[in-house]
Every structure is written in C-alpha cells, then in structure tokens.
A and B are shown apart, each in its own frame.
Chain A
Amino acid sequence: MADYAFPHRHLLGIEGLNRLDIETLLALGDRYVELNRSRVKHADVLAGRTLVNLFFENSTRTQGSFEIAGRRLGADVVTMPIATSSVKKGETLIDTAMTLNAMRPDLLVIRHGSSGAVKLLSRKVDGAVINAGDGTHEHPTQALLDALTIRRRVGDISGLRIAICGDILHSRVARSNVACLNLLGAEVRLIAPRTLTPPGAAEWGAEVFTDMRKGLDGCDVVMMLRLQQERMDGAYLPSAREFFHFYGLDAEKLDHAKPNAFVMHPGPMNRGVEIESGIADHKTRSLITEQVEMGVAVRMAVLETLAKNAPDIGAKN
C-alpha cells in the first residue's frame, strides 16, 4: 500500500473514490495521529507550498483544522475572509477563483453554501482543490475522519452496523458518510422522520428507519447529525422539543444499540435538541472530541497526498 499512487487531482467527494483510495488516506492519517501526539508536531512535506483556505460559509472547526494541518506540514497557509470581502462587492464566484488562482496556490480548501460550487471552482483553477463542504452535497474529509475514528476505536469497519440519525436531508456529512462507510463494508442505517429523509435515500445502499429505537437495534456506532435549522426555509418539524422526544439521543434510546455502542457527532452540537449532554460528554462512549483530533490527522494525509499530485505551480511559465 505504501506505493499506491492516489489517482485523483482533487478531493471533491467520496463518490468517485474506491476502497483503496480511502484506505490509503486512512493509513497515512494513522501515521499523522502519532506525529500529532508527539512533542514536535512538525513535518516538512509541504515546505514552500501555499495552501489557501477559501470559506464562503462560516466555519470554526473545519477551517481551523485545515489551518493547523497545513501548518504542521510546513505549508504557507493563508485564510481568505471571503464571506466579508469581494463577494459582497458583486464579484462573481468564478472571478474570485480566477483572482486567487493568479496568486498560484498549490492547494485550495474550499467551502461553499451551494451544492456543486466546489466542483465548478475546481474546473477553473490550477491547484488541487479539497472540498471542505458544498451545500448539502458532500463533506469528504468529515467522512474520512469519522472512518479513521471508528477504525482506531471500534476496529475494522467491515461488518459494523452504523446508524446515522437526524437531519439527513440537509446533511452533506450524511451523504459522504453513507458513501464512505458503504465502501468500507459497514451496514449503514439512516434514522429520521420522513420530512428529513432525502427522496430515494433507500436507494443509497442504506436501510431507512423512522423509529429510532428500531433503527438503533444492534448498532455498534451511532452517528448523530446537527439539526440544520438555518437551511430549513419551511417547517420540516413541529418543534425542537418534539424532535428531541422522538429523535434526540438520550440514555434510554441508546440502550437499544449494542451495549457500549459508541456515539459520534460532527459538531457543532445542539445539546438537548439532537443529543443529551450526558451522552455527548460520556467518558467512554462519546468519540466526539476524538473526531476533532482525527480531523487534523486526516486532513494532513489529504493535503500531503494531493500535494504530491498537484502540478508544480511555481515552475509554470
């Protein structure tokens, strides 16, 4: 596996990757976990290369995670405060991309509120593009960090029963995770009320449940999703209270999963809406802070891998 050449220029989604692609990234991520836990958390594989963080949507943890990942690999990291600058002056998305491209970044980490926008941008720039979340489409590094977390704490993903619960309709994390966990051989379940289940979700290779207790039966891992009230331009639910009653993860519902089943959440959490605080902070069963740690490692793996494939921007012309 050490010699496997990752055959993609960009990381736009889990769709399009094969199992070996994913396992290669996870194996490298594993190595970076060790580096990140040592005293000198530094490697020089990206020395001299420029990483631009382009977040058209506000983000704290993903943006910070990519920044730290880039710096630990020795890259020059620049974060463009796009949400407050040129876009408001009417510059189009493509013009912004062309402008940044002229500054010759090697790696571009992009988050955008519209599905497909990151792909659109990837066609217009020379560097490698990493999708840090596009609308309700994909968030591939989140799926990779979740897989790394499960692999390290629970074991081989193949054969595990994993439930993804809550606001699946608006979740790019769910879409990437279903694809990733399916490729790695897990049995994936989706648990949500009908209004938050995407049409055709049953054709995604996952079993769909509306009853959370039935859905959690025998699960090794329970992945909760954030209720994305900001993307709901109509009433998908009668109230947060009712949602918590039927779909919020509390100790009683968790009892339906396997004993000692693990709990995950991509954050940020709405405590008391989709997850009870006692579960979120559980010392042995909650993997939520570990997910954040794995996020840095997996992003280092992605950056290093794509930088190897990136054209030598400096040598152009």
Chain B
Amino acid sequence: MTGRTVIYNARVIDPASGLDEKGGVLIENGLIVEAGAGITKTTAADLKIDAKGKALAPGLIDLRVKTGEPGAENKETLQTASDAAAAGGVTTFVVMPDTDPVIDSVALVDFIQRRAEGVAKVKVLPAGGLTLGLDGAKMSEIGLIKEAGAVFFTNGDKPVEDAGVLRRAMSYAASFDALVASRPDTPALSKNTVMNAGAFAARLGLRGTPPEAEWIALARDLMLAETTGVRLLADCISTGRSLGAVERARKSGVKVACSVASYSLFFNELDVGDYLTYCKVQPPFRKEEDRMALLDGLKRGAIDAVVSAHDPQPTEDKRLPIADAAFGAVGLETLLTALLSLALREEIPLATALKPVTSGPADLLGLPQGRLAKGAPADLVLFDPAAPWACDRDDLTSRSKNSPFDGRKLEGRVLRTWVNGATVFERG
C-alpha cells in the first residue's frame, strides 16, 4: 500500500516497549513510520481512520498452527486458516510440519510458501520436520530447509523417542543456530489416553495422561539442550512444574524458551465434563493448580509464547465416543480473545498479556513484526478489549468448528486487522 495512512484516536499498545497510551499509528508503504501519542487526527495523511478509542496493537504471531494442507484439506486449508487468523487478529502464523506429506524437504517448504503467497491474507511461515517423515530416526536436511525459510524444526505431535537421534539432531541444528521445538511427551505413558490422569478421569472411566509424561520428556530435552547448546522451544507445556523446570534451566544458562497453548491458561480438567470431545486435546487440560501456575507465569513474563495450538478436526472425527475421537481444538479465532478475557478477569496489563503473542514469538524467530517500531511491517489489530460476546462454533471462520470455547462467554473482540498496512479483516 502506497501513500500515508493514519489510525488515530486509539489506545496504542506495544508490548515490546511497554507502551500503552492514547495516540495513533502512522503507516507508509506498508511500514510503520511512527506510533504513539504524537500521532493524532491532525497528522498529515492520505487516509485517516478513527479508531474510536479502541485498542490498537501489533498483529498476533502464533507459533503453532495445523492446517490440513497438504493431505487433509477437508479439515482446513492454508486459505481458510488464514481467513480464520485474520478474523482472530493473527497476522503471522507458523504451520506445523505434520501434514501428509510431512514438510521435511526444501521442496515442501517451498510448496507451503508458494501456496500461502497465492491464497493467504496473513503471513504464513513453515516449520520444518526435525526428522524425515517425523519418523524419529533420521534427521532432515536442517541446514538446507532453514535456508529455504523454515523458522524452526520440530517433530510436531510425534515426539522423538530415541534420545540418541534427538541429541544428534539438536547438535546438528546448533551448528546452524536453528531453533528446535519439542512438545515434551512420553508416549509410553500417554498412549491411548484421553484426558489428564487423576481422580476425575478415573471417575469418568477414562484413561489419563499423567503429568510425568511431560516432566520426563522435558527433563530429557532440557539436558540435551544444555549439552548440545541448541536453542530449544519447550512447546505447549501444560503444568506448573514444567514451567519451573524451564525457568531453572534458563537461569542456569540453557537457551530455552517455552510456549503454552491458550486453552491451558483457560480450562482445567473438569471442563471435559460430560465427555466433551472438543475438550480432548494434547497436552490435556490439567489441574486448576497447573492453570493457576501458568497464569502466574504469564503475569511474570515467564512464558515466551502463547499459541493457539490450532488443530482443526471435522465433525465426523469428533462426534464419537471420547476414546475414539480425534485430539485437537481450533484456536486461531479465540487466541486473542482468550488472552483479553484473562487479562480482564485476572487484572493483567494488556501489554503483559499480549507480549507472548507479539514481540515474544517475534524475538524467538528474529522477525521484524510483532512491534510498533519505526520501519516494522504495519501488521496491526484493532480490538475492543472488553466487549462481551458468546462464542458459537457455527460462527467460526475455520473450516472445522472443534472449539472448546463453544458456548463460552468471552470478553474482547477483534474489529479490524491489517497486514503490511492493508486491511485483511473488518467486522461488519
């Protein structure tokens, strides 16, 4: 977009600098020229947009999204996912490599980039498979795939069980300063489980994933990160003890960051209730004390990234007895609103609550966006931070509707989303 655009009369929030003040943002050629109190209605521009006092922040960056493309387009495509992202205020997202085929080669990274360029309204960044076919046995061409544009490497939801393979892959990745993401899980403890292990699961007659499944794998990953020197992202941790382990490792010099799924901050195991398959996710909703510990981490800035863990599943894979139902929840459209609801209810400053969806993940990946800095891309979201609404899955933009937020009352709504200064979503 050429010409100058000014968005004025806004509450401007920039988590990177801690800015939260009345003002505006001046955009030229898709880049931010200036943001803050100095930008007003009188700032010279070709197009002037009145934000009507609503909040204006950097567009969200989501580090964990699955679509069904390639291989399962009935679940979601890059296009439908990007539409959902725009509606949710997400302007950049990373797609996970666990597709069919797996994104484990330069050609497939290229495929994702080209597809996204053609159909996606928002920025789509591919993550590469850490091992070929995610088989957990042979490492992929990490160096070449990184050059091709993969932003990190991960085995997705298929943890590398062989510690020797993981150690070598981390070691090799460290030579290229590649980021390795690992969702800590021990399949021997989590296979055939449905929800968090404990008294509630036992009462429902359901098999539970004990938190040890996460702790054991995380302890291993942290040790290997320490000895190999790789940059590690502990992906989707779900317990207070895991967060403690990450913080201790970080303090002792391990290059580790962590992400938490937004649903882990919002729900606990009791929300599975009457066998609600939309609440069947990996890692599962944990105990309330875990949720509180993670929320505390959010307030302290200990969580580097909050992710949607967007994982679309069609009705036919969810409308089943819970043991047979697929794992996963859509989340692109509820990521921001979940954080806004929590910020309101828990009295968390917005700049703090939004850091792990803006500058936090941007810094991890070395991206210029995710901040209201001069010269940064004008990826922006305008939202009403307290507008109440009820989530109805049928109103979701995603091709799949498996949202645990269905029927929930939430606060905070996206009004308008810009990518490189161009409007990609506007609530009618």
Which residues of A pack against B, CB within 8 Å?
A: 92-94, 112, 114-117, 119-120, 134-138, 169, 172, 175, 198-201, 203-204, 233
Contacts and interface: CB of A to CB of B under 8 A. Distances in A.
Contacts of A114: 321-324
Contacts of B198: 199-200
Given A116-B274, A199-B197, A199-B199, A172 B205 contact: yes
21 contacts: A92-B319, A93-B320, A93-B321, A94-B319, A115-B204, A115-B206, A115-B322, A116-B275, A116-B321, A119-B274, A135-B205, A137-B204, A169-B202, A172-B205, A198-B199, A198-B203, A199-B197, A199-B198, A199-B199, A200-B203, A204-B203
A172 B201 CA distance: 13
Contacts of B200: 200
B205 A134 contact: yes
A204 B200 CA distance: 10
B192 interface: yes
Contacts of B197: 199
A258 to B, nearest CB: 29
A137 B199 contact: no
Q: List the 7 closest pairs (A to B, CB-CB), nearest first.
A: A200-B199, A137-B205, A116-B275, A114-B321, A198-B202, A115-B205, A136-B205
B408 to A, nearest CB: 20
B55 to A, nearest CB: 40
Contacts of B202: 169, 198-201
B205 A233 contact: no
Given A117-B321, A204-B199, 6 more contacts: A115-B322, A119-B275, A175-B203, A198-B202, A199-B208, A200-B200
Nearest to B197: A199
Interface of B: 192, 197-206, 208, 274-275, 316, 319-324
A114 B319 CA distance: 13
A137 B201 CA distance: 10
Nearest to B272: A116
B289 to A, nearest CB: 15
A175 B90 CA distance: 45
Contacts of A175: 203, 205
Nearest to A172: B205
Looking at chain B's contact residues, is the secondary structure mostly helix, strand, loop, or mixed? loop
A117 B205 CA distance: 11
Given A134-B205, A135-B205, A233-B192, A115 B323 contact: yes
Given A115-B206, A115-B275, A119-B275, A135 B323 contact: yes
A172 B205 CA distance: 7
A116 B203 contact: no
A198 B202 CA distance: 6
Contacts of A198: 199, 202-203
Most interface-central of A134, A138, A198 (chain B CB within 10 A): A198
A218 B60 CA distance: 65
A285 B208 CA distance: 38
Contacts of A119: 274-275
A204 B198 CA distance: 12
Contact of A92 (B206, B274, B320): B320
Contacts of A112: 321
A78 B301 CA distance: 62
Nearest to B324: A114
Contacts of A136: 205-206
Contact of B199 (A94, A134, A172, A203): A203
A120 B324 CA distance: 12
A112 B198 CA distance: 23
A62 to B, nearest CB: 17
Contacts of B274: 116, 119
Contacts of A169: 202
Contacts of B324: 114
A137 to B, nearest CB: 3
A234 to B, nearest CB: 9
Contacts of A200: 198-200, 202-203
A120 B205 contact: no
Contacts of A94: 319-320
A135 B274 CA distance: 14
Contacts of B203: 175, 198, 200, 204
A117 B198 CA distance: 20
A201 B202 CA distance: 8
Contacts of A203: 199
Most interface-central of A116, A120, A134 (chain B CB within 10 A): A116
A116 B204 contact: yes
A92 B230 CA distance: 46
Nearest to A134: B205
Contact of B205 (A93, A138, A199): A138
A169 B208 CA distance: 12
B156 to A, nearest CB: 25
A99 to B, nearest CB: 15
Contacts of B316: 92
A203 B201 CA distance: 12
A233 B316 CA distance: 27
Given A92-B316, A137-B205, A116 B199 contact: no
Contacts of A117: 321
A197 to B, nearest CB: 9
B268 to A, nearest CB: 15
A134 B205 CA distance: 9
B195 to A, nearest CB: 11
A233 B323 CA distance: 15
A88 to B, nearest CB: 15
B201 A199 contact: yes
A114 B197 CA distance: 17
B208 A115 contact: no
B91 to A, nearest CB: 38
Nearest to B200: A200
Most interface-central of A134, A137, A175, A199 (chain B CB within 10 A): A199
Contacts of A137: 204-206
Contacts of B323: 114-116, 135
